[in-house]
Amino acid sequence: MLTAALGMTLVGCGSWSWGRRSAGPSGLGDGHRQDPALSGNGRVLASIVERGGRATVILQEQPSGRLLPLGPLQRQQPHRSPSLSWNGRYLAVLVQQGGRRLAVIEDRATGRLQRLPLPADLEPQRLSLAPDGRRLAIEVVRSGRSVVQMFDLGSLLEADLPGGLPATGGGWSGAGSTRDDEAASPAPR
């Protein structure tokens, strides 16, 4: 009770003093930046910009803002709803292929693109990748109704855990070398 009361008091103090910064210009397209997604460790920011009239995901190292390279995904626009794993190794995003929208995951460590086909009657709208890369939530429209569906990716992806090496994009020699000692610590409950 005391904790709750203290919390409410602190909450009333306002947020004016919190550190703020703009993600800054990407140097691409018309300057609009949308759909932000931070990696679990906060060192990579994904966002959507217009490039050549097509929605394109970009990755920026934080806090430097340096653009990071993309692999096969850079040819799969338009992009929508990016989501990153803990170290930014996996980038999940919706792409348009022909008349269909498709969820894909790029492994920035190996350059491999993993397509995740859904039944034809499900139209994906948004997605979220768990920071460890083990689960994926996809908002789909079925019969005109939005529903979130959960998928276990344990058999498809190696986990990306705290303490793993950052993926630099376009293949990475340290692929899969996450540190199991840190990985073994469970999330707070």
Partner 1 sequence: MRQKQRHPGRGAQQRRFALVGCLSLIGLSLGGCLGEMPTPMGGLDRQLEQAGSSQAPALAGRWLALIGGRGGRDQVLLVDVERALPVPLPGLNRPDAQPLSVAVSRDGNRLAVVRQLDGRTELVLYRRELMGLETIAMQPAGVPRRVSLRADGHELAVEVSRGGHWQIDLIDIP
Q: Which segment (38-46, 163-171, 174-182) binds partner 1 by CB under 8 A?
A: 38-46
Does 185 bind partner 1 (CB under 8 A)? Our answer is no
User: What does the CA dihedral 65, 33, 70, 137 come to, rounded to 10 degrees?
Assistant: 110
* Tokens found for residue 152: 């276990």
d(CA 114, CA 76): 12
CB of 51 to partner 1, least distance (A): 15
* Tokens found for residue 93: 């995003």
From candidates 127, 159, 167, 175, binder to partner 1 by CB under 8 A: 127
CB of 104 to partner 1, least distance (A): 8
Compute the C-alpha angle 38/96/66, nearest 5°. Answer: 35
> At residue 57, what are phi and psi to the nearest 5 degrees?
-80, 140
CB of 3 to partner 1, least distance (A): 7
d(CA 160, CA 162): 7
Compute the C-alpha angle 91/63/177, nearest 5°. Answer: 45
CB of 37 to partner 1, least distance (A): 5
CB of 6 to partner 1, least distance (A): 8
CB of 113 to partner 1, least distance (A): 9
Does 47 bind partner 1 (CB under 8 A)? Our answer is yes
Does 52 bind partner 1 (CB under 8 A)? Our answer is no
User: Which residues neighbour 34 within 8 Å (Cβ) at sequence distance 6 or greater?
Assistant: 47, 48, 49
From candidates 53, 54, 100, 115, binder to partner 1 by CB under 8 A: 115
Does 55 bind partner 1 (CB under 8 A)? Our answer is no
From candidates 150, 174, 179, 180, binder to partner 1 by CB under 8 A: 150
User: Which residues neighbour 41 within 8 Å (Cβ) at sequence distance 6 or greater?
Assistant: 86, 87, 88, 162
Say if CB 79 and CB 95 are below 8 A apart.
yes
For partner 1, the binding residues (CB under 8 A) are 3-4, 6-8, 10-11, 14-16, 18-23, 31-42, 45, 47, 62-63, 86, 104, 114-117, 125-131, 135-139, 145-156, 187-189
